[in-house]
Amino acid sequence: MIGPGFHHAEGPLRLEARVVVVGSGAGGAAAADRLAAAGVDVLVLEMGRQEAPATFTQREEQMFPRLFQDAGGRTTLDGAITVLQGKGVGGSTLHNLNLCKRVEPELLDRWASDRGLPELPQRLSAAYEAVEQDLSVGPVPEAMINRNNQLFRAGAQALGWANGPLKHNRVGCIGSGFCELGCAYNAKMNAARVLLPRAVAAGARVVTGVRVERVRHRFGRAVGVRGVTAQGHPVTVDARHVVLAASATGSPALLVASGLRDRWGQVGAHLHIHPGGTVGALFEQPVRGWQGIPQSWECTQLLHPTDPARRVWLLPVFGHPVATAALLPGFGEAHTRLLSRFEHLAAATAMLHDYSAGRVSADRRGRPLIRYQVDAADRAAMAQGLAAAAQILLAAGAEVAVIPYARPAELRTQDEARQAADRAVRRLDPPLAAVHPMGSLRMGADPRTSACDGLGRLHGARRIWVADGSLMPSSTGGPPQLTIYALGRLVGEALVQVA
């Protein structure tokens, strides 16, 4: 019998729980926290390991295999977009950049009206307040805005564009700049540091090293899950309720692989991922963008929560040496020349509030298959966003801004940057990445157009719940982690009433 606490699966296991939660990221941790606090017997399964912050080496080749699905190599099926997703106790909250922002009220109202969820804005507002308190969410201090972000701010303000500070969930941050490789200083107030230890203290069990492959069900009702350890040993869990919190790719893939009835084809549909492209720029004075908090400022000039004509979120971004080398255009001497000025490099990203929609399916082992292509309108918006990012960097004083097309766009004037908006974005050119999958099991009152109801219950089966970014009815146009925490909390509170 496995008692309360964190345990790593080493051999075959047969376990029982009132509720089993698949995944320990923001949503799963928040749900488990509420369940354990109410005295419900809850078991959390995590495919990764429990990582000690002191072991985070701040080296890309070591940390990416430890903290990212597929060692950071997960992509859409056509290979056009890299999809970065986390693993380990805490999920993607281990490697994310700690941005905390609520969904804009206009978009919440759209979700409420379009999806038949009139109580959602009020319920989410209460959940946001609780989560923000739990995670110590607050503004990034002015003294911690690094030079890369300062330059971005200066450029946006010089253009007269809408811009402003961001909030985060860090306490004790020393500005090492290695957030995406895991915080060695344990300054992230995340699922791993706050919610899961609190759930365990209340009686929850967390078992790591288990990859769940199937939801077990009988007569349309969940009876548990089945999976394997890293060594291939079988793991079987008997449970009255199953909560899927394996991400907007992992949760629908599990449902597809489990053979559950999906009469209206909503499982895995309506996937959004916030695809983004990066623009680099060289400055005469050193930038040292790898130092300090990576993201603390945003520009919303081209972003509106419900206006499809404004679908680009602009913000600073930076990469460590390996990631930067992979993104910089050119070959041989030209590439070396750019990388040799790493210290003088600044960067910004254009991230789509995407209206493009993909679909998640599964291979025979239940692993996610991500079908997603950027549609024509989003491609045009991406070109506009990349050009705008270049404008910001040039307005901040950059010598040159570079959009990494196969034939790089080297821009030195505002006119050149504006004209870059007319350059076609094509598949694989420029390279795009996504860190915010959402929407593949979206909420709604009507099972013909949604996979789950407003409480996170799967429409097509009983006693299956979803508590991750899959629930979102659309792209959020901003960092989704706070909303995932809030939705997980709401699902946990709803499940307490029936578990």
User: How far apart are alpha carbons 180 and 96 in whole angstroms?
Assistant: 6
pTM, full prediction: 0.97
Contact 9, 44 (CB under 8 A): no
Model confidence pLDDT, tens digit, residues 383-441: 999 999 999 999 999 999 999 999 999 999 999 999 999 999 999 999 999 999 999 99
Q: Yes or no: say if 248 and 436 are a contact pair by the CB < 8 Å rule.
A: no
Taking domain 139-167+276-353+375-426, whether its CATH number is 3.30.410 is answered by yes
CA–CA distance, 171 with 138 (Å, rounded to integer): 10
Model pLDDT for residues 361-389, shown as the tens digit of each residue: 999 888 999 999 999 999 999 999 999 99
Residue 113 has pLDDT above 80, yes or no: yes
Question: What is the DSSP-derived secondary structure letter of residue 86?
Answer: B
pLDDT at 1 over 70: no
Q: Under CATH, domain 5-136+177-269+438-496 is a member of which superfamily?
A: FAD/NAD(P)-binding domain (3.50.50.60)
Residue 243 CA to residue 458 CA, distance in Å, equals 10
The catalytic residues are 436
Task: Give 401's strand partners.
Answer: 281, 411
Between the alpha carbon of residue 408 and those of residues 174, 226, 335, the distances in Å are 36, 48, 11
For the segment 260-279, the average pLDDT, to the nearest whole number, is: 96
d(CA 82, CA 196): 29
- Flag whether pLDDT at 163 surpasses 90: yes
Q: How confident is the model at residue 211 (pLDDT cuts 50, 70, 90)?
A: very high
The structural domains of the chain, with segments of one domain joined by +, span 5-136+177-269+438-496, 139-167+276-353+375-426
Residue at token pair 């196969």:
406
- Give the mean model confidence (pLDDT) for residues 59-81: 95
Whether residue 355 has pLDDT greater than 90: yes
Quick check: helix, strand or coil at residue 73? coil
Q: Looking at 266-374, which runs of residues are DSSP E strands?
A: 276-282, 297-299, 312-316, 345-352, 359-362, 368-371
Could you say which DSSP state residue 70 is in? G
Q: Give the integer Cα–Cα distance in Å for 23 and 19.
A: 13
Structure confidence by residue, pLDDT tens digits, 213-269 = 999 999 999 999 999 999 999 999 999 999 999 999 999 999 999 999 899 999 999
pLDDT at 325 over 90: no
93 — pLDDT class (breaks 50, 70, 90): very high
| Whether the predicted pLDDT of 71 surpasses 70 | yes
CA distance 252 to 157: 42
| Cα(372)–Cα(213) distance, integer angstroms | 23
pLDDT exceeds cutoff 90 at 477: yes
Residue 3 has pLDDT above 90, yes or no: no
Query: CB of 432 within 8 A of CB of 261?
Result: no
For the chain, the straight-line distance linking the first and the last C-alpha, in angstroms and rounded, comes to 21
**How many Cβ atoms from other residues are within 10 Å of residue 230's Cβ?**
15
